[in-house]
Amino acid sequence: MQTKLPSIFADLWIGVLILLTACSPSTSTPTPTEAPQVATAFPLPTDTISTIAPTLASTLPALSATPIQVSAQDKAHYISETYPDGSNVAPGVTFQKSWELQNSGTTTWTTDYKLILVSSSSSSLGSPDVIPLSKVVNPGETIDISVLLTAPQTPGQYKVTWRLQNPQGQTVSVDGYDLWVLVNVGIAQANSQTGSGQQSVVAGGVTVTLVNVTYPPNEVDAETCFDFPSLEEWYPYDSTININNEKTENTSVSYYPPFNKQDTSIFQTTHRCFLIGFPASSNLGDKITISIGDIYVDAVQFLEQNCARAQQELAPKYPDLKFTCVPPSSGDYYKLIQLPQNMSSQQARQIILDTMNQTIYGPWVFNITR
């Protein structure tokens, strides 16, 4: 997301008022007021925001001896982004944050233009300090600027902020804003509960409902319903159950209620239900957490089409990432030909497979008491 920043002139006016107040006699202690988090004439403070929407910083940042210079000719316009504010990311997952920007100024952006890391909360999510632009962008043209990030293992809300700079070190205003990512790691919770005890969770734009939980001997079965984004054959993966702080992975997933394989009507709606089975024992009064990690479409079903689509989608973002697709009998769906600089083969693998499988990460988390 872009961080909304006031005009530099507003910040300088605040600075003037502060200096005038300091020079005037006062008989009472002034009441501190909140000031916007700014990044123009003053440096950005360390992120302390705990809400989803970026609003006000708790204190006024200190005056800097070196004011930040904002370019008068360079300007950028925000178009879109991945992982909008409040997106849920599973702990330890590597994900790609991207912004689509338009060069709305009068200068040509070269590959010497860059994003610089300016602040973060308790973790920078593995971001490099500098992210150069991947191509030349003429006035009116657009570019996707992407960075690979890794969610910490510790649940919580994390924010990282970057600033676009020209080769002279001047700030390039993005509609007056900086750029940021604000994600929730491992803390998606049920946001509604019906009178029947059903819970629904929204993560990654997908709603999952926990309809019912049954307890056969030495097993827990969770009936869950998904509102998928398309009619393709989506499937839930990486589900776990935690009973009294003992975690167990699922061992079975099946459509529910069971249906005849000849009946294709289930694929004529995006609302589908599954029975997720866990080999775990439970007793009355147990505190239970059920978590579904991600959903995706198995790319192998239409490998050629999914490979071509992934190559087309990734080419603008990673022009130096080259791969071809191979039969799944080799263990993977692709063969790496060329890696971009500063990208590991493991990161490339996750990006390629996530794109081919259209992976959507949760987690979708449900807390119940038996």
Give me the CATH code for the 188-370 domain, please: 2.60.40
Say what the pLDDT of residue 120 is. Answer: 86
Give tens-digit pLDDT for 190-207.
443 433 457 888 888 888
The mean pLDDT value for 273-293 works out to: 92
Topology at the third CATH level for domain 2-185? Immunoglobulin-like (2.60.40)
CB burial class (10 A; 0-12, 13-18, 19+) of residue 101? Answer: buried
* Cβ-proximal residues to 263 (8 Å cutoff; 6+ apart), any chain: none
* φ, ψ of residue 310 in degrees (nearest 5): -65, -40
| pTM, to two decimals | 0.50
The mean pLDDT value for 91-106 works out to: 91
The mean pLDDT value for 354-368 works out to: 89
Q: Which residues pair with 20 in a beta bridge?
A: none
Query: Which range has highest mean pLDDT (76-85, 107-116, 177-186, 289-298)?
Result: 107-116
The mean pLDDT value for 108-127 works out to: 92
Gap between the Cα atoms of 52 and 45, Å rounded: 18
186 φ/ψ sector (left φ>0, alpha ψ -120 to 50, else beta):
left
Give tens-digit pLDDT for 31-84.
333 333 333 333 333 333 333 333 323 323 333 334 578 999 999 999 998 888
* φ, ψ of residue 43 in degrees (nearest 5): -75, 150
CB burial class (10 A; 0-12, 13-18, 19+) of residue 170? Answer: middle
Q: Percent of the chain scored above 70 by pLDDT?
A: 76
Query: Which range has highest mean pLDDT (49-53, 68-72, 275-279, 355-359)?
Result: 275-279
Same fold, 2-185 and 188-370: yes
Torsion of CA 53, 54, 57, 58, to 10 degrees: 10
Gap between the Cα atoms of 211 and 314, Å rounded: 37
Gap between the Cα atoms of 92 and 361, Å rounded: 12
Gap between the Cα atoms of 124 and 72, Å rounded: 30
* pLDDT over 90 (residue 166): yes
Q: What residues does each domain of the chain span?
A: 2-185, 188-370
